[in-house]
Amino acid sequence: MAGEDIIRVSSLSKQYATVAGAVPVLKDINLTIAIGEFVAIMGPSGSGKSTFMNVLGCLDMPSSGSYVLNGHEVAKLSSDQLARLRNETIGFVFQGFNLLPRADLESNVALPLVYAGVNNGERNKRADELLDKVGLGVFASRIPIRSPAGNSSGWR
């Protein structure tokens, strides 16, 4: 399976309509990411990184071009199919963490598995394994602390 494309973007563009006219944000992007490959998307503020990540995460659609995710042409999928693809294929680590403030870390990590229909015991087992894998297992029962800006900034 390694070496197969998980993401293929061809001639992708995104523009936003404004009162002053169309504002191009992404212009003719071409990118291929293989299964198991690590990629960093970098650039200065305002360069379109967040817009591109929203498109890659199936949260927004391109204005033109093609985006194939795990063999599926994203533009041709229904909202239910997109939701399923997001649940089963895409994972995000948000800059502000976006953790549920009253749930411990294990519950936050396990939450997507609720929507996938995985039973409670299996959810917790998988969440613990993932937390251990990234060195956060010791924080599994901790609750996130909110900073004044509203972002998670540590653990209680």
Confidence at residue 126, expressed as pLDDT on a 0 to 100 scale: 95
Domain regions of the chain by residue span: 5-89, 105-155
- In the predicted model, is pLDDT for residue 133 greater than 60? yes
CA–CA gap between residue 143 and residue 156 (Å, rounded): 5
State pLDDT tens for residues 22-40.
999 999 999 999 998 888 8
Cβ contact 98:105 at 8 Å: no
Confidence at residue 24, expressed as pLDDT on a 0 to 100 scale: 94
Amino acid at 37: E
Buried b (16+ CB within 10 A) or exposed e, 104-139: bbbbbbbebbeeeeeeeeebbebbeeebeeeeeeee
Q: What is the mean pLDDT of residues 116-127?
A: 93
- In the predicted model, is pLDDT for residue 150 greater than 70? no
Confidence at residue 144, expressed as pLDDT on a 0 to 100 scale: 81
State pLDDT tens for residues 38-82.
888 999 998 999 999 999 999 899 999 999 999 999 999 999 999
DSSP summary character for residue 61: -
Q: Which CATH number applies to 5-89: 3.50.50.60, 3.30.1130.10, 3.40.50.300, 3.30.300.30?
A: 3.40.50.300
User: CA of 6: how far to CAs of 29, 65, 85, 153, in Å?
Assistant: 16, 17, 12, 32
Residue with tokens 């041709």, as numbered in its chain: 76
Query: 0.75 exceeded by the pTM?
Result: no
CA–CA gap between residue 48 and residue 156 (Å, rounded): 35
Sign of dihedral through CA atoms 126, 137, 120, 77? negative
Chain Cα centroid distance, residue 62 = 16
Q: What is the mean pLDDT of residues 3-7?
A: 86
